Amino acid sequence: MFHLLEQRIQDAFHGRILAQFGIDLEVSTEQPRQSSLGELAVPAAFQLARQLKQPPKKIAAELIEGIGSIEGVAAMEVAGNGYINVRFARAGYAEGLVRPTPRGEGSATGRGIVDRIIVEHTNINPNKAAHIGHLRNAVLGDTLVRMLRAAGNRVEVQNYIDNTGVQVADVVVGFHFIEHKTPADVKRLIADPTVRFDYLCWDLYARTSAFYKDSPEAVGWRAETLHAVESGGGTLAELAHLVADAIVALHLKTMLRLGVEYDVLPRESEILHLKFWAAAFELLKERKAIYLETEGKNSGCWVMPPEAFAGDSGTEDSKVIVRSNGTVTYVGKDIAYQLWKFGLLGKDFYYRPMMRYPDGHELWVTTDEPQIANREVPAFGRGTRVFNVIDVRQSYLQDVVVAGLKALGAAEQAAQSVHFAYEMVALSPRCCIELGIELSDEDRQRPYVEVSGRKGLGVKADDLIDRLIDKALEEVAARHAEKSAEEQRKIASEIAIGALRYFLLKYTRNSVIAFDFQEALSFEGETGPYVQYAAVRARNILKKLEERGETLPDFTADLTRETLESALASEDFWQMLLAASKVDVALGRAVVSGEPAHLARYAFQLAQTFNNFYHQYHILTEENRERRVYLLWMTDFFRAQLIRTLGILGIQTPAYM
């Protein structure tokens, strides 16, 4: 509704300016500083003043005069030095919300719809438990997916599994060479319900990393393991499979606690076995995107020259794609994967269904064997735009990947490759002390301390979630002692996840989160539970109404134009309605700027507005019938908008709080 009007106003000004001054000006609109100044401000007169050499105030007055009336606009006036403030026709606006026309809602966010967007996120090495840094990635990625879908795009969610990499190899080294465990031993550990296998690997990985430091000769074990994993046979390869598969299953479980689901898991083992790299290598050689270095420190390696990507990264060294021993680096494999995402590789994976989520959605995983004749396999890949959700420290590598596409002549796909970068989650010094981590004097002075999987330094995702649930449970139990323990836990879990997702989303992407338990565990103020609480309150009012044996009025019939007219004469009601009607404005802004934090902020403001409404007006005891209908409608509208916004953020609305 808001978008529609905004567009109409922009068009009207654009047309008038063209007719009156012969200038093709792209008319922008902004929000006036104060709500009392109107709903939209048009700064066009300032832009024209320069060209026309006339005072903006004069131009503004002429424009208003010339435009006449615009449908849905009640008044326009010159303000300040030349702003044109626009006031909406309130009742008409509200009618559009009560009786939406098909083209009314959401049409403006539908402008830039892309046929197939691929979002790759999570991408955790399957060798240890997930930590908060991984959660930021997954929550950011998942929310991006929800936002894009809410804006009308078709989105495919991929979670890349590096099941043949160094990190898995290190845990295998730990099991085999350090602990002398057989595959049968490891299988028993995985099957043992009293063992948290991902936690066990977390510690083992840290121990193995420390072991390398003290005994550098042990690094040879890693090379041996990597080689075994790549050739695919023997004890070491079997261990790698066991570890990676078990950890992937646990990661999926952890992510599902947050409501994060995927469509397909492309695995590195298939990239290897199906010779994706070989195909990409041929392409890169053919187009001379890489060359065999014959001198200097990179002699014997296939490298990409710095000119290809130096524009953004500022490095002077070429980037090694194939090592002198013939093995391919991670970036090389990433180029092959990116080519596949766009359908440019000329190869595809085979797929098998991996599991079905409780909501019925099916998750697929890649395989190297053609099979399942009886199942129709969804068409994966072949995206027109690709978002890679990866932390900002890997910008350099993402630049190289994009340079690879460009060098292969895929300029369009290079332009459609988005590195959806975000800053890391670190630990506040206070948090480290709380975790019993010893800090050097130097670290103590820093604003934050980096998480390190190698050192086993970090907050495990499941630990944090458990802690949040425990805290929420205390609150729920105190308020709803009569409910069953099982039900209390369900509610507490929804609140905990709401708190966690909101906490990770409220920071803009390029802000480092210095993790702090006190802030993450807060349920008050600008938090997920605050927004959930508002939604629950709105729903409670309507529930209470039914408990009293009444039914919700038929708003489309009862809310006549006259009713709306008189209700919205109140500035208060108008401002509240306006604020509540802007979900799609906020969504559009968040999508365009790629900033989920914008939508999170809107959710908070929406909840604030509702809490004001809730506090100021007593709905069920309102005696004036007409006014009561209006209040009920506002409540219902708030409820729907709050729940919808929370939903896009991946946050559920509990049955009660």
Restricting to residues 564-603, name those near RNA by CB under 7 A.
589, 593, 595, 597-598, 601
Q: Let me know: does 141 contact 121? Beta carbons within 8 Å.
A: yes
CB 145 within 8 A of CB 155: yes
Site string for RNA, 195-234 (x = CB under 7 A): ----------------------------------------
Contact letters (x/-) for RNA, 91-130, by CB under 7 A? ----------------------------------x-----
What is the rounded distance in angstroms from the CA atom of residue 221 to the CA atom of residue 174?
10
Nearer to RNA, 364 or 530 (CB): 530
Nearest CA to 559 out of 649, 448, 638, 634 is that of 634
Q: Find the part of the chain contacting RNA (CB under 7 A) among 10-18, 95-103, 133-141, 537-545.
A: 537-545
Q: CB of 487: closest distance to RNA in angstroms?
A: 12
Between 8 and 154, name the residue whose CB sits nearer to RNA.
Answer: 8
Among 230, 348, 368, 450, binds RNA (CB under 7 A): 450
Rounded CA gap, 294 and 300, in Å?
A: 6
Q: Which is nearer to RNA, 81 or 215 (CB)?
A: 81
Q: Say which residues have a Cβ less than 8 Å from residue 599's Cβ, sequence separation at least 6.
A: 143, 147, 505, 586, 587, 590, 645, 648, 649
User: Within 13 Å, how many C-alpha atoms sit on residue 240's CB side?
Assistant: 29
Contact residue for RNA among 31, 35, 231, 556 (CB under 7 A): 31
By CB under 7 A, residue 397 contacts RNA: yes
AA letter at 481: A
CB of 640 to RNA, least distance (A): 17
Choices 26-34, 97-105, 408-416, 555-563 (CB under 7 A): range interacting with RNA: 26-34
And the tokens for 263?
């469509």
Give whichever of 179 and 317 is closer to RNA, judged by the CB atom: 317
- Collect all residues with Cβ–Cβ distance below 8 Å to 143 and sequence separation of at least 6: 501, 505, 596, 599, 648, 649, 650
| Residues from 482 through 501 that contact RNA (CB under 7 A) | 491, 495
Instruction: Please state, in angstroms and rounded to a whole number, the distance separating the CA atoms of residues 448 and 432.
Output: 9
Q: Could you tell me which stretch among 109-117, 256-264, 373-381, 508-516 binds RNA (CB under 7 A)?
A: 508-516
Q: How far is the CB of 193 from RNA (least distance, A)?
A: 30
Sheet holding 302-304, edge to edge: 291-292, 302-304, 319-322
Residues 237-256, interacting with RNA (CB under 7 A) = none
Nearest residue to 86 via CA among 99, 71, 98, 101: 71
Closer CB to RNA, residue 1 or residue 320?
320
Q: Is 185 in the site for RNA (CB under 7 A)?
A: no
State the nearest-atom distance from the C-beta of 218 to RNA, in Å: 15
Task: Please state the closest distance from residue 454 (CB atom) to RNA, in A.
Answer: 9
Scanning 284-292, 335-343, 366-374, 531-539 for contacts with RNA by CB under 7 A, the matching segment is: 531-539
For RNA, the binding residue among 447, 485, 554, 624 (CB under 7 A) is 447
Residue 450 CA: distances (Å) to CA of 112, 376, 427, 464: 38, 45, 6, 17
Q: CB within 8 A of 196, min separation 6: which ones? A: 129, 462
- Please report how close the Cβ of residue 306 comes to RNA at its closest, in angstroms: 9
Q: Select from 279, 352, 611, 647 the one that contacts RNA (CB under 7 A).
A: 611
Q: How far is the CB of 377 from RNA (least distance, A)?
A: 27
Count the site residues for RNA by CB under 7 A: 101
By CB under 7 A, residue 270 contacts RNA: no
User: Site residues for RNA, window 300-329 (CB under 7 A)?
Assistant: 300-301, 312-317, 320, 323-325, 327, 329
* Bridge partner residues of 513 (DSSP): 425
- Which residue among 485, 621, 623, 624 contacts RNA (CB under 7 A)? 621
Which listed residue (35, 51, 215, 299) binds RNA by CB under 7 A?
299
Nearer to RNA, 245 or 362 (CB): 245
Q: Residue 132: CA atoms inside 13 Å, Cβ hemisphere, count?
A: 29
Q: Using an 8 Å Cβ cutoff, are 644 and 583 in contact? A: yes
Q: State the chain's maximal CA–CA distance in angstroms.
A: 89
Structure tokens at 478: 């105190």
Q: Pick the binder of RNA from 250, 344, 432, 514 (CB under 7 A).
A: 514
Return the H-helix or E-strand segment holding 351.
Answer: strand 350-356
Strand-by-strand arrangement of the 385-391 sheet? 350-356, 362-367, 264-265, 155-158, 117-120, 385-391, 417-422
DSSP 493-545: HHHHHHHHHHHHHSS-TTS-EEE-HHHHT--SSSSHHHHHHHHHHHHHHHHHH
Helices (H) and strands (E) in the chain, counts: 28, 16
* Residues constituting the chain: 657
Q: Is there binding between residue 52 and RNA (CB under 7 A)? A: no
At a CB cut-off of 8 Å and minimum separation 6, what does 69 contact?
none
- State the Cα–Cα distance between residues 347 and 276, nearest whole angstrom: 7
Q: Which of 412, 511, 556, 572 binds RNA (CB under 7 A)?
A: 511
Residue among 434, 462, 526, 636 that touches RNA (CB under 7 A): 526
Residue that has been written with the tokens 């609480």 in this structure = 533
Q: How far is the CB of 538 from RNA (least distance, A)?
A: 9
Smallest separation (angstroms) from RNA to the CB of 502: 11
Minimum distance from CB of 357 to RNA (Å)? 26
Q: Considering only residues 139-168, where is the footprint of RNA by CB under 7 A?
A: 162, 165-167
Q: CA 521, CA 43: separation in Å to the nearest integer?
A: 43
| CB of 281 vs RNA, minimal distance in Å | 15
Q: Does 357 bind RNA (CB under 7 A)?
A: no
Q: Which is nearer to RNA, 155 or 629 (CB)?
A: 629
Report whether 73 contacts 42 (CB < 8 A).
no
**625 in contact with RNA (CB under 7 A):** no
| Binding residue for RNA, selected from 17, 144, 272, 476, defined by CB under 7 A | 476
Contact between 279 and RNA per CB under 7 A: no
In the complex, the smallest distance separating the C-beta of residue 206 from RNA, rounded to whole angstroms, is 15
